[in-house]
Each structure stands twice: as C-alpha cells, then as structure tokens.
Structure 1
Amino acid sequence: MSVVEQYARAHVISDAPPEDDRPVRVVLRYDPERDPRCVRVGLPGAGVPEWTVDRELLERGLTAPAGSGEVRVWPCGRVQAVLEFHTAQGVSVVQFETKALTRFLRRTYAAAAEPVPH
C-alpha cells in the first residue's frame, strides 16, 4: 500500500481583510499503514502541523453536514465543501473545491485496495 499525497488550493476563512483572502496550498495525505481510516490535512501557517479527519466523515460531509469531535464537514453550494477544525485556541475554517476532495478520496480508496507485496 502506498502513501497518497495531493496538494489542493483552499481558502482559509478568517477575519482578515478581503485582499488577504488568497488561496493557500493545503496538503492532503493518506497513509494506509499509519492509519487506514483517516486522512491528514496540512494547513500552512496554522500553528497545527496537520489535522486528522476520518475518511468516511470527509466523504459524508461532501453531500450533507457531518461532524465528529473537533471536525465538521459540510457542502457549500454545488462546487465547494467546508472543513472546520476546533481547538482550545479557536476554530480554523477551510473551504475546498469538492472536485479536489473527491479526487483525493478516490485515490485513497484505490491505494487501500492495492495488494500487499510479499
């Protein structure tokens, strides 16, 4: 099984002025040997190296609001999805194109189905 890594453009939603609202590069990572049920989301400059998100939760959240613990996911219109991460320091809200998340999830399921080398 191989690690799947994909970069995606996203908007980190904050109180910053609109001119600071530029897309950022977020890394999506799936390592089936480390944790076959979860994916990791790496936000740039967020003070948190990576968030862990259950793959099923991410998939459910692309079509209807879903949440568990510190993570919430919901569709935002027809082409975007929002991931919300809660910590004691506050909330990070990240908006992705649904296409990018769907493509990444497909790759994770394909990687999980790869035969184990002997």
Structure 2
Amino acid sequence: MSTVIEHAVQARLVASAPQTESVAATLRYDRDDPFAVSMAFPPKATLEGNEVSWAFSRELLTAGIDEPAGVGDVRVRPYGYDRTVMEFHAPEGVAMVHVRTSELRRFLRLSQVLVPTGREHLYLDLDHDLAELMRDAC
C-alpha cells in the first residue's frame, strides 16, 4: 500500500477583478508526516512562475470545511454550497481559492485510510528524527 496520497483538484483563483481562473492544484498527504497536508499550485498560478506548495495541518483542513479555521498563513472556511475558501497569506499578498468541499472531503477520507485521526503519533519515527537532529549538531 502506498504511503502517499496525491489528489488533483480544480481550484478557482479569486481576484479583486471580476475575472476568475481555474487551475489544477494537488493536495498531498504523506504517512511519514502524519499531521500535515500540502497543496501545490502550478507555475502558471504563481507570481514568480514557479510551482508553490503550502503545508498546513490536516486538522485545519478538516475543521475549516465546517467552520472558519486558522489564524496564521493558511485559513480555511466554508463558502456556500459545496465550496470551501482557502486563503494563503504571504508577504507578497493573499491568494484566495475556492475548492469543491466534496473534493476536500474525498481527500480527507483517503488520508484517514492511511492514518486515522488520533493515531498520527503511531506513524512518527521519533528515534530517527532525534538521530538526524543529533547528527546535524555534531
């Protein structure tokens, strides 16, 4: 069984101008980093023309589907029928995207198969992580 889930979604970029654009984005969950998910945007969706990936907690994504969540760089909240707004805050500005809530729920269900909520600690390799920290310190 694979330890990584990648799930393609259509994200609608929201801008101050009346025009909106859809881009393909990728949600990713890796059992080796059980508390986190990431969302990657292709180069054409970014100011610099490079792929950009944001990492945030799976718990934030889960909570934000039903009620506003997040106070930092990533914020998630429901928006109308079957839409979730994701805001990504950076020094350059704020990117806001709409994603189908049903797609986010599907992704979260797949992640639950790999690592059920509340069991994340069982998938951490703390001995390996500590050894890496100590190796770098010497």
For the residue of structure 1 that corresponds to 2:16, the secondary structure is: coil
Give CA deviations for 1:13-64 in whole Å, capped at 9, x if unaligned: 123552xx2321000001111x210100001232462001211111110010
Q: Give 1:81-96 correspondences, 5 Å limit.
A: 81-96=84-99
- Who is 1:76 aligned against? 79
For the residue of structure 2 that corresponds to 1:104, the secondary structure is: helix
- Who is 1:60 aligned against? 63
Moved over 6 A (4+): none
**1:5 aligned to 2:3?**
no
Which structure 1 segments of 5+ residues have no match?
none
Larger RCO (CA within 8 A; separation ≥ 6): 1
Larger radius of gyration: 2
Q: Give the TM-score normalised by the residue count of structure 2.
A: 0.74
Which structure 2 segments of 5+ residues have no match?
117-122, 124-138
Give the structure with the higher percent helix: 2
For the residue of structure 1 that corresponds to 2:21, the secondary structure is: coil
Q: Give 1:13-28 correspondences, 5 Å limit.
A: 13-16=14-17, 18=19, 21-28=20-27
Give the CA RMSD over aligned residues.
Answer: 1.7
Please, which moves more after superposition, 44-53 or 1-10? Answer: 44-53
Percent identity between matched residues is 38
CA distance in 1, matches of 2:71, 2:40: 19
CA distance in 1, matches of 2:22, 2:14: 10
Give the structure with the higher percent strand: 1
For the residue of structure 1 that corresponds to 2:66, the secondary structure is: coil
Q: Give the TM-score normalised by the residue count of structure 1.
A: 0.86
